[in-house]
């Protein structure tokens, strides 16, 4: 076993604190890399609080992970010691179902294995521990290649915030000629703006906060709609082909659907803690759709990383010391981050 340390919650709702633990030895198909940076995702906070389902404790969060390879298994062919590597939200899947064979491991029929707060029954039967730690061991197939020369702290959030917004925009072929509304300008939303603009869509940011307008324009958005302004909201009825909904707090999806054109699609990527109520008339009056999307498979995630490297797209981040994680969570809940906290793991 490989001895290491990380920051863990020992029980639901507990503050994170330093914790020594063990990872499995590097197997024939494994890659071990020392973690340089790990992004802080809203889902980290949800999971240590058991907001979605009962957690596995101690829990080491973190699934936006970049680092440098220190050891590879004897049968590894894609990676070498010294290269940069990354891992996102999952570390394994069955590899046999139709989704896995199609490069859609995130939708594995038998359940993918999350990077933390899961039991990896495909390998060692041990709990998975995430990126708030010094080192990690991951099956080769679930390791992503990171190109040299990029600001690594800014690359880390691409492994979740990036692919979570890239994947639905690619799936629905959002691009030139489309009007895209991005609901919420946080960790997910700011990446959705960057991708939407890069793909050629006309991008409008929807926000309840007037202070976000300058930021939206700086990120490349063409328009800004203050949703708390009744006149602006009513004037925008039947305006958009797509709404990419990144909001993780409770909100009225049906109200926003009135902004869609006929045949428009409201795509949910944020995960509020409570179910949403959508009256049938919000759907049938305009043949509108509500859809959802969850990260991307391994091929698409690598495609996204390569696209970002080629087009100089990275996340806007605030790098923090790991001892400040509790403060970061408090600020994240208030929307006080532009736009993703990233932990410098050298501070652990």
Q: What is the DSSP string of 300-321?
A: HHHHHHHHHHHHT----EEEE-
pLDDT at residue 146 greater than cutoff 90: yes
Alpha-carbon span 264 to 285, nearest angstrom = 11
Alpha-carbon span 170 to 195, nearest angstrom = 10
Q: Is residue 271 very low, low, confident or very high in pLDDT (cuts 50, 70, 90)?
A: confident
pLDDT at residue 274 greater than cutoff 90: no
- CA-nearest of 45, 43, 54, 338 to 214 is 338
| Residue 173 confidence (pLDDT) | 98
Q: Is the pTM of this model over 0.85?
A: yes
Q: Which helix (H) or strand (E) holds 45?
A: helix 42-48
What share of the chain in percent tops pLDDT 70? 100
Residue 111: what are its φ and ψ, rounded to 5°?
A: 95, 120
User: Cα torsion at 204, 182, 155, 177 (round to 10°)?
Assistant: -60
Alpha-carbon span 344 to 348, nearest angstrom = 8
Note the helical H segments in 75-205: 98-101, 152-155, 161-171, 187-198
Average of pLDDT values for 167-194?
A: 97
| Residue 218 confidence (pLDDT) | 96
Average of pLDDT values for 123-141?
A: 96
| Residue 275 confidence (pLDDT) | 86
| Residue 232 confidence (pLDDT) | 96
């Amino acid at each position: 076993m490989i001895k290491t340390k990380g920051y863990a919650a020992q029980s639901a709702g507990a503050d994170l604190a330093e914790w020594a633990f063990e990872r499995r030895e590097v197997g024939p198909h494994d890659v071990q890399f020392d973690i340089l940076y790990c992004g802080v995702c809203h889902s980290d906070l949800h999971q240590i609080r058991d907001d979605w389902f009962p957690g596995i404790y101690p829990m080491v969060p973190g699934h936006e992970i970049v680092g440098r390879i220190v050891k590879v298994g004897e049968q590894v062919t894609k990676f070498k010691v010294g290269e940069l590597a990354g891992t996102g939200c999952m570390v394994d899947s069955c590899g046999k179902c139709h989704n896995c064979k199609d490069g859609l491991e995130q939708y594995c029929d038998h359940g993918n294995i999350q990077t933390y707060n899961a039991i990896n029954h495909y390998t060692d039967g041990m709990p998975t521990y995430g990126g708030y730690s010094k080192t990690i061991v991951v099956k080769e197939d679930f390791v992503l290649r990171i190109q040299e020369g990029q600001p690594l702290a800014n690359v880390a959030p691409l492994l979740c915030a990036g692919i979570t917004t890239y994947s639905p925009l690619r799936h629905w072929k959002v691009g030139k000629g489309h009007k895209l509304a991005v609901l919420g300008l946080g960790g997910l939303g700011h990446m959705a703006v960057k991708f939407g603009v890069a793909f050629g869509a006309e991008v409008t940011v929807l926000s309840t906060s007037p202070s976000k307008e300058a930021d939206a324009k700086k990120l490349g958005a063409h328009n800004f709609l203050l949703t708390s302004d009744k006149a602006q909201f009513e004037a925008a009825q039947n305006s958009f082909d797509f709404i990419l909904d990144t909001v993780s707090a409770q909100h009225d999806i049906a109200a926003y659907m009135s902004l869609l054109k006929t045949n428009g699609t409201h795509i949910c990527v944020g995960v509020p803690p409570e179910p949403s109520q959508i009256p049938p008339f919000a759907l049938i009056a305009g043949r509108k759709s509500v859809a959802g999307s969850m990260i991307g498979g391994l091929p698409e995630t690598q495609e996204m990383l390569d696209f970002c490297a080629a087009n100089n797209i990275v996340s806007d981040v605030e790098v923090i010391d790991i001892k400040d994680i509790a403060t970061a969570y408090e600020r994240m809940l208030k929307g006080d981050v532009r736009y993703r906290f990233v932990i410098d793991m050298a501070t652990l």
